[in-house]
C-alpha cells in the first residue's frame, strides 16, 4: 500500500531523514518511534508530499512527488496540534474540508458524530479544549473515508484520559481495516497499536521491528532516562543497542526501555564499558499503561548508580 | 469520545477535485474570511467615506450641479484611488500566505488533496474578489451621490475608473502575495508591503525627478521608467480612457500622445496586465519550492 525507498530530506547540511526505506501492507499499523528530532515528523511530511525530498514514496502505486494531490486523497492526516483558524466554527470548518475532500453530503455531521463532537457545530475552534481539537482533526481526517490515516504524535498534547480516548479510537479504526501510520515517542502507544515499529534516530532508520521484539517481556516495561554526566551519549546508545536494548536520545538524556525486572541491566552494560551512569529517572510504566491495568499518569522515580 | 462507531469494510478511497473546483472552494473560503475580517471592514468603510467626500467636493467645485458630474468626480477620485487601493491590496496580499504559515495552518491545508498552485490561486481570487467588492461599494456610494445631485452625465469615465481601479487592486495584490510567499512572518510581509507602497506612491516620483535632473534623462527614458510604475500606468490609463489630454502630465504626456497615439491605451493596459500576471506567476513558482512551515 505504501512504499518508501531511500527517502532523504536535508535542511541545509543536516539530514532530517537519511535514506529511510520501508513498506506497509493494507490494514496494518506502523509506528514511527524515536525522540524529538529523530525525523518522524519530516518523514510524515514527506509521505504527504508537502515537502520536497529525495527518494521515492508511493501510496497505492501513486508517486507522492509527482501526483501528491491524488496520493493525499487517500490519506487522512492528524497533526500533532490542530492548526486552524481560531475564529472558524466547527460546522464551517468541516464543510470546507468536506468540500475539498469531495466527501458525500452528510459526511461532516457523521464524522463529528463518530468522534463525539456532535452538538458542538456552532462552537468556534478557539473555544475547544486540546482534546476536542484533536478529535476535530480526527473527524476531518475521516472525511471521505480514506484508507490510510497518518497521525503525527496525536496524543502529545493530551492528558491521560484524552490519550486513552484517542488510542481507543485508533484501535477501532485499525479494526475497521484502516492502515495507520503514527509517530510517537510513547512506548505504550506503540505497544497498543503498532504491528511494526520503525525506530528512528537522527533521521536514520536504526531498527524495523515489532513492539514485541522491541520490548520482549510481557511484564512491565519501563523507560529509564540515564544521566551520563557529559559522557558520549551516542557511543553509550550504540553499546546498549548492541546489547539488545531499545534506546533513544531526546536531548535531555539517553532513554532506554527495559522490563521492570531488568532495570539494572543497561546500567551494568554501561558500567562494564567504563561509562558511569550518574543518575537515572523512571519515566513511565509502559505495559501497565498499554493494558489499562495501571495508573495512567506517568510514574516517576529517581535513583543513581555509581 | 465514547460514541465512536466505525464500520468494518473495504475502504473506498477518494477522488480529488478538479483544479477549477479546488480553486473555487479555496477562493470562496478566502472571500468569506476576508469579508469577515476587521481590515476589510475598516478599509471598505474608509474608502467609502472618502469616496463620498470626494464626490461632494467635486460637485461643489463644479459650480453648477449637473455639469459633467461623473467626469469631475472620476478625476477627483483618481488620487484617492492611487493612495488607498494599493495600500489595501498590498497589505491584504502580504498576509495571505505568511499569515497561514505563521499560524501553522498552511501545512494543514497543503496536507489535503489540493496542489500548491490551487491554494495560491484560490487565495488570490478570493482576496481579489473581496478587494473588488470593497472598491465597488465605495464607488457605488459615490455614484449614488453623483447621480442624486448631478444626474448621469459622463458615466462612462466613471465606469472606466472603476474598471482600472480593480486592475490596479489585482496588480498590487499580486505584488503583496509575492511578498507573502517570500516572508516567514506576517509582520515582516506587512512591513515589506508598506515599504513597497511608500516606494510606489511617494518615492518613485521623487526618484524619477531626481534621476531626470542628475542623469539628464531624455523624455522617452522618463516615460519608460515612469510607466513601469503600475500607479503611473494606472493614472495614464484613466486619463487616456477619459479622453482627456495627456498634456496635463507635461512633456512626458505630450511625448506619449504623439509617439503612441491610439495604441497608448493598449500599452498602458498591457503594463497593468503584466503587473497582475508576473508577480503572481513568480509567487506560484516560489511557493512550489518553499517549505510550508
Encode chain A in three state secondary structure: CEEEEEEEEEECCEEEEEEEEEEECCCCEEEEECCCCCCHHHHHHHHHCCCCCEEEEEECCEECCCCHHHHHCCEEEECCCCCCCCCCEHHHHHHHHHHHCCCCCCHHHHHHHHCCCCCCCCCEHHHCCHHHHHHHHHHHHHCCCCCEEEEECCCCCCCHHHHHHHHHHHHHHHHCCCEEEEEECCHHHHHHHCCEEEEEECCEEEEEECHHHHCCCCCCEEEEEEECCCCCHHHHHHHHHHCCCEEEECCCCEEEEEEHHHCHHHHHHHHHCCCCCCEEEEEEEHHHHHHCCCCCCCCCEEECCC
Sign of the Cα torsion A159, A160, A165, A169 reads positive
Sign of the Cα torsion A292, A32, A185, A255 reads positive
Backbone torsions φ then ψ of B259, nearest 5 degrees = -75, -45
Ordered by start, the domain boundaries in chain B are: 20-289
Question: Residue A20's beta-bridge partner residues?
Answer: A7
Ordered by start, the domain boundaries in chain A are: 2-201, 215-303
Does the beta-carbon distance from A115 to B291 stay under 8 Å? no
Q: What is the pLDDT of residue A220?
A: 62
Q: Which of A14, A48, A72 to mutate to test the interface with B (most CBs of B within 10 A)?
A: A72
Cβ-Cβ contacts under 8 Å, B7 against chain A: 176
Q: What is the pLDDT of residue B284?
A: 96
Query: Who contacts B145 (Cβ-Cβ below 8 Å, separation ≥6)?
Result: B52, B55, B56, B59
Q: Nearest chain B residue to A84 by CA: give it.
A: B105
Q: Does B22 touch chain A (CB under 8 A)?
A: yes
Q: Which three cell numbers stand for residue B134?
A: 470593497
Give how far B20 is from chain A: nearest CA, Å. 12
Quick one: fold of A2-201? Rossmann fold (3.40.50)
Does the beta-carbon distance from A83 to B104 stay under 8 Å? yes
Identical fold between A2-201 and A215-303: no
- Under a CB-based contact definition with an 8 Å cutoff, are residues A73 and A101 in contact? yes
Cβ-Cβ contacts under 8 Å, A172 against chain B: 4-6
Q: What is the pLDDT of residue A129?
A: 83
User: Residue B122: which of A102, A96, A145, A51 has the closest Cα?
Assistant: A96
Instruction: Choose the closest CB to B108 out of A83, A113, A173.
Output: A83
Give how far B47 is from chain A: nearest CA, Å. 26
B114: helix, strand or coil: coil
Give me the torsion for CA of B193, B199, B201, B203, rounded to 10°: 160
Q: Does B8 touch chain A (CB under 8 A)?
A: yes
Instruction: Choose the closest CB to A116 out of B1, B110, B113.
Output: B1
Instruction: Choose the closest CB to B113 out of A73, A84, A115.
Output: A73
From residue A141, give the alpha-carbon distance in Å to each of A76, A157, B111, B228: 4, 18, 10, 48
Cβ-Cβ contacts under 8 Å, A101 against chain B: 14, 112-113
Give how far A157 is from chain B: nearest CA, Å. 16
Q: What is the pLDDT of residue B205?
A: 79
Query: What CATH number does domain A215-303 carry, 3.60.15.10, 3.30.420.40, 3.30.70.890, 3.30.70.980?
Result: 3.30.70.980
Give how far B114 is from chain A: nearest CA, Å. 5
Does the beta-carbon distance from A176 to B107 stay under 8 Å? no
Instruction: Choose the closest CB to A50 out of B15, B36, B107.
Output: B107
Q: Which of A145, A165, A170 to mutate to test the interface with B (most CBs of B within 10 A)?
A: A145
CB pairs under 8 A between A and B: 119
What residue ranges of chain A have pLDDT lower than 50? 287-306
Does the beta-carbon distance from B113 to A69 stay under 8 Å? yes
- Under a CB-based contact definition with an 8 Å cutoff, are residues B19 and B112 in contact? no
Q: Nearest chain A residue to B118 by CA: give it.
A: A69
Q: What is the pLDDT of residue A302?
A: 38
The DSSP output letter for B87 is: H
Q: What is the pLDDT of residue B9?
A: 40
Cβ-Cβ contacts under 8 Å, A175 against chain B: 6, 8
Q: What is the pLDDT of residue A3?
A: 93
Does the beta-carbon distance from A97 to B112 stay under 8 Å? yes
pLDDT digit string (tens) for chain B, length 293 residues: 444 444 444 344 457 889 999 999 999 999 999 988 888 888 899 988 988 888 888 777 665 444 456 677 777 788 889 999 999 999 999 999 999 999 888 999 999 999 999 999 999 999 999 999 999 998 888 888 877 877 766 778 788 889 999 999 999 999 999 999 999 899 999 999 999 999 998 887 788 888 888 888 888 888 888 888 999 899 888 888 876 666 667 777 788 788 887 788 889 999 999 999 999 999 999 999 887 76
- At which residue does the C-alpha cell 543497542 appear? A241
Does the beta-carbon distance from B4 to A100 stay under 8 Å? no
Amino acid at each position: 500500500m505504501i512504499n518508501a525507498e531511500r527517502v532523504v530530506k536535508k535542511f541545509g547540511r543536516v539530514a532530517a531523514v537519511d535514506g529511510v526505506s520501508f513498506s506497509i501492507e493494507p490494514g496494518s499499523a506502523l509506528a514511527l518511534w524515536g525522540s524529538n528530532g529523530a525525523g518522524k515528523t519530516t518523514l510524515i511530511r514527506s509521505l504527504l508530499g508537502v515537502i520536497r525530498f529525495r527518494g521515492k514514496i508511493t501510496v497505492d502505486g501513486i508517486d507522492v512527488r509527482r501526483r501528491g494531490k491524488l496520493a493525499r486523497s487517500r490519506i487522512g492526516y492528524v497533526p500533532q496540534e490542530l492548526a486552524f483558524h481560531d475564529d472558524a466554527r466547527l460546522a464551517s470548518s468541516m464543510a470546507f474540508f468536506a468540500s475539498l475532500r469531495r466527501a458525500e453530503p452528510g459526511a461532516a455531521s457523521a464524522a463529528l458524530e463518530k468522534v463525539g463532537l456532535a452538538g458542538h457545530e456552532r462552537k468556534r475552534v478557539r473555544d475547544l479544549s486540546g482534546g476536542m481539537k484533536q478529535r476535530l482533526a480526527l473527524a476531518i481526517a475521516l472525511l471521505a473515508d480514506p484508507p490510510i490515516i497518518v497521525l503525527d504524535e496525536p496524543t502529545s498534547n493530551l492528558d491521560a484520559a484524552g490519550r486513552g480516548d484517542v488510542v481507543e479510537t485508533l484501535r477501532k479504526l485499525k479494526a475497521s481495516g484502516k492502515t495507520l501510520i503514527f509517530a510517537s515517542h510513547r512506548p505504550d502507544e506503540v505497544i497498543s497499536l503498532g504491528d511494526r515499529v520503525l525506530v528512528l534516530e537522527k533521521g536514520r532508520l536504526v531498527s524495523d521491528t515489532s513492539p514485541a521484539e522491541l520490548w520482549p517481556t510481557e511484564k512491565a516495561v519501563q523507560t529509564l532516562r540515564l544521566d551520563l554526566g557529559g559522557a558520549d551519549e551516542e557511543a553509550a546508545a550504540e553499546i546498549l543497542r548492541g546489547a539488545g536494548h531499545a534506546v533513544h536520545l531526546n536531548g535531555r538524556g539517553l532513554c532506554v526501555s527495559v522490563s521492570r525486572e531488568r532495570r539494572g541491566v543497561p546500567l551494568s552494560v554501561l558500567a562494564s564499558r567504563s561509562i558511569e551512569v550518574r543518575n537515572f529517572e523512571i519515566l513511565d510504566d509502559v505495559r501497565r499503561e498499554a493494558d489499562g491495568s495501571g495508573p495512567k499518569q506517568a510514574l516517576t522515580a529517581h535513583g543513581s548508580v555509581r | 469520545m465514547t460514541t465512536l462507531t466505525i464500520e468494518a469494510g473495504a475502504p473506498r478511497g477518494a477522488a480529488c477535485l478538479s483544479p477549477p473546483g479546488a480553486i473555487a472552494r479555496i477562493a470562496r473560503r478566502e472571500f468569506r474570511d476576508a469579508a469577515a475580517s476587521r481590515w476589510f471592514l475598516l478599509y471598505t468603510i474608509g474608502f467609502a467615506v472618502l469616496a463620498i467626500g470626494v464626490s461632494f467636493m467635486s460637485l461643489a467645485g463644479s459650480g453648477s450641479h449637473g455639469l459633467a458630474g461623473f467626469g469631475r468626480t472620476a478625476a477627483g477620485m483618481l488620487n484617492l484611488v492611487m493612495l488607498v487601493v494599493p495600500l489595501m491590496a498590498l497589505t491584504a496580499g502580504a498576509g495571505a500566505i505568511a499569515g497561514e504559515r505563521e499560524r501553522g495552518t498552511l501545512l494543514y491545508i497543503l496536507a489535503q488533496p489540493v496542489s500548491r498552485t490551487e491554494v495560491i490561486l484560490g487565495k488570490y481570487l478570493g482576496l481579489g474578489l473581496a478587494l473588488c467588492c470593497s472598491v465597488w461599494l465605495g464607488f457605488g456610494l459615490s455614484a449614488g451621490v453623483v447621480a442624486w445631485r448631478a444626474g448621469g452625465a459622463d458615466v462612462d469615465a466613471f465606469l472606466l475608473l472603476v474598471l482600472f481601479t480593480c486592475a490596479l487592486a489585482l496588480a498590487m495584490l499580486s505584488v503583496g502575495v509575492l511578498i507573502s510567499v517570500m516572508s516567514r512572518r506576517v509582520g515582516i510581509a506587512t512591513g515589506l508591503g508598506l515599504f513597497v507602497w511608500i516606494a510606489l506612491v511617494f518615492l518613485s516620483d521623487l526618484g524619477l525627478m531626481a534621476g531626470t535632473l542628475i542623469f539628464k534623462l531624455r523624455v522617452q527614458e522618463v516615460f519608460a521608467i515612469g510607466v513601469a510604475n503600475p500607479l503611473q500606468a494606472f493614472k495614464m490609463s484613466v486619463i487616456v480612457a477619459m479622453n482627456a489630454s495627456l498634456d496635463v502630465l507635461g512633456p512626458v504626456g505630450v511625448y506619449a500622445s504623439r509617439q503612441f497615439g491610439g495604441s497608448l491605451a493598449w500599452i498602458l493596459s498591457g503594463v497593468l496586465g503584466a503587473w497582475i500576471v508576473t508577480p503572481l506567476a513568480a509567487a506560484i513558482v516560489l511557493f512550489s519550492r518553499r517549505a510550508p512551515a
